[in-house]
Structure 1
Amino acid sequence: MNMALPSEGPAPAEVFLAEETLLLGMPQLCLAGLSEVWLLKELGHRHWMGLAQLAGRAVPDFRATDGAPVYAAFRALSVERADFAALGENDRLTIRTTICRLTHTQCASRHELTCEGQPVGTVNLVSTFVRRAPGGGNHTVARVALEAFPKLMTPLMAPGFAGESLAARAATFRSSGAAPEAQFASAGLVESGCVTFDPCPAQDFNGAGFLYFSSFVALVDRAEWHFDGRPAPLATTRRREVYFHGNIDPGERVAVRRLKDEQGARERIHHYRLERAGDGLPLADAFTQRVF
């Protein structure tokens, strides 16, 4: 991987991090082409390593002033213009990553995907730095600002950097409940189904002990499969936008509520909400366009 280290002095608003081409095989693929869950895990790692570069560090070992570990928790993601079904075994996927600091606590990365020069999707990730309270679990997570990064510049980022608009849409949804676009809006948010899952610590949690952000997407896909019945038409993601609100501890269950699901001949649009089953705390809202 080619990594461009930050230069001396103030960091630019948008920093080019890496471009790499991967040969696709079984770990990266699923029945319908490129595995979205694998992709999110890969891009989450690139985002985390990019934060280390922004801070001028070899590895992303961030600590609060009292020595407590600090992590980058994802607050929002978007998948745009995806054509994952076009990818298969032995294809070469190129990932071009850029990253930017949005605020004192938030950073965003953009990952442009191409195959043989043809675009196959773009993924945007927005994260915030968090820490647990001393002796606490995932219910005690709070934001924290780090001083390891260069000072924010004006303007904060290159014009049109998508992370800013994604972060703004997520903030608007949390304050008003407004869907990212009219096609995802639900009339009164009437629940039409609910399924509960018991995430597995060995499969669904990351090394920091959090239910990993890619597992939220996997649970949405499992809920879609559950509600569809058998046999279900094979669908792939064209667009997806997820806003993350909270997390769970190992042993807790997740309720996935279907608030909207409209299916046509060639596509479906749905809005699912994930909640902590024990107390109903919202964990995430996922808005998805899938194509058959």
Structure 2
Amino acid sequence: MNLAVPPGGLGNALAIGAGTGSLFEDTAQLGMPQLCLGGLSEAWLLKELGHRHWMLLARLAGHAAPDFRDVDGAPVYAAFCALSIRDAAFGVLGENDRLTLHSDLMRVSRTQFLSRHRLTAKGRAMGTVELVSTFIRRSATGNHAVARVAIETLPPPLASPAAGLAGLAADMRAERMDTYKDFDLRRRTTTEAVEIEPCPAQDFNGAGFLYFPSFIAFVDRAEWQFETCRAPRATTIHRDVFFYGNVDPGEKVRVSRHDTRRGEGRLAHHCRLERASDGVRLADAFTLRRV
């Protein structure tokens, strides 16, 4: 699982909405920490939005800080089940541009929450990101097993988990879908694969879990290895990632590319991330990039 542990935020412009969730709006002047070679850094963005999601959960619960506990007093974290990036224009952003993030949060089931983040700059939309999380308690034996936890002090659900990204995440986890984005999910052949050993100092978060932006970074590293000549400065247009599991420090992640499509300045692919030691599914990533 992929835990939203605060990496540091943009600012303190936070307002709380009643019942519907929370609203968080702020503007950042983009510089080197927020940028990459192709424009806006997706890694920075996802860390920032993970932090916002976590802080909005705290405010929604009436906490001054995001400190959640189960009935036994053990720490409880928000593990991400899915993320979706839509209509992104990261490549047009550069140094000193001002990016505004509009974020809101709602409860969609007993244990799940969805945050939606709208990006604007230069007077136009720059994309939308959705994140679905569930509260979990970690296992004493490591990152391979966790238990879902309900936080009863939060407002009741406002939407059905069967709808939208939360419903898709449940279907993907249960392998109830044969296709997604026209990719054949029953396809077992792999065109290319790369193994990556996550670095504790770079890829894990403060809770000891492989952080969810690291999964996307591994997909991009695999893409770079497979598509160096064709996509030297690829930028994301759409990306959907569904998370199923995690690894302990010292374990390797295998990124396998199951299908690829190229044409008209676009590169699309479906990558599966697995624990290299036992082949357990960790995530499925469906990506459309501008090349």
Query: Does the pair score TM above 0.5?
Result: yes
Superimposed CA distance per residue, residues 124-176 of structure 1 (whole angstroms, 9 cap, x where no aligned partner)? 0000000123x3211121111112212x15xx24xxx9994011112222232
1:233 aligns with 2:239: no
Correspondence 1:269 to 2:280:
no
Give the distance between the partners of 2:231 and 2:57, measured in 1 at CA.
40
Q: 1:16 to 1:144 in 2, by over 3 A?
A: closer
Partners in 2 of 1:220 and 1:289 — Cα distance? 12
1:48 pairs with 2:47: no
Q: Are the equivalent residues in 2 in contact too, given 1:32–1:235 (CA < 8 A)?
A: yes
User: Residues 204-219 of structure 1: matches in 2 within 5 Å?
Assistant: 204-219=203-218
Supply the distance in 2 between the matched residues of 1:287 and 1:77 (Cα, whole angstroms).
11
Amino acid across the alignment from 1:252? E
Q: Deviations over 1:174-209 (max 9, x none)?
A: 232444322x34572421111100000000000000
TM-score by length of 2: 0.91
Over 3 Å counting, the alpha-carbon distance change for 1:97 and 1:146 in structure 2 is same
Question: 2:152 is matched with which residue: 123, 147, 151?
Answer: 147
Aligned to 2:24: 18
Question: Who is 1:71 aligned against?
Answer: 77
Give me the whole-angstrom Cα distance separating, in 2, the residues matched to 1:198 and 1:227: 18
Name the CA distance, whole Å, in 2 between partners of 1:198 and 1:240: 23
Contact 2:22 2:59 survives alignment (8 Å)? no
Number of the residue aligned with 2:7: none
Do the aligned residues in 2 keep the contact of 1:126 with 1:163 (CA within 8 Å)? no
Structure richer in strand, relative to its length: 2
Cα–Cα, structure 1 residues 39 and 179, in superposed 2: closer, same or farther, change >3 Å?
Answer: farther
Q: What CA distance in whole angstroms lies between the structure 2 residues aligned with 1:257 and 1:28?
A: 28
Which residue does the alignment assign to 1:39?
A: 45
The answer as to whether partners of 1:139 and 1:247 remain within 8 angstroms in 2 is yes
Contact persistence 1:129–1:145 (CA under 8 A)? yes
Contact kept, 8 Å, 2:30 with 2:94, in 1: the verdict is: yes
- Tell me, which stretches of 5 or more residues in structure 2 are unaligned? 1-11
SS in structure 1 of the partner of residue 16 of structure 2: coil
Contact 2:22 2:60 in 1 (8 A): no
SS at match of 1:132: strand
Give the paired residue count: 279
Identity of aligned residues (%): 56
The residue that corresponds to 1:247 in the other structure is 246
- Match of 1:279, SS state, is coil
For residues 4 and 188 of structure 1, the distance between their equivalents in structure 2, rounded to whole angstroms, comes to 46
User: Distance in 1 between the 2:22 and 2:13 partners?
Assistant: 10
Q: Would the alpha carbon gap of residues 232 and 119 (structure 1) be closer, same or farther in structure 2, given more than 3 Å must change?
A: closer
Q: 3-state SS of the aligned residue for 1:145?
A: coil
The aligned counterpart of 1:285 is: 284
In structure 2, how many angstroms separate the alpha carbons of the residues matched to 1:170 and 1:104?
A: 15
Letter in 2 for 1:254: V
The farther-off stretch of 259-268 and 236-245 is 259-268
Alpha-carbon offset, residue 117 of structure 1:
2.5
In angstroms, what is the RMSD of aligned CA positions? Answer: 1.8
User: Deviations along 1:217-261, whole A, 9 cap, x unmatched?
Assistant: 000000001112447432100000000000001111000011011
Partner of 1:137: 142
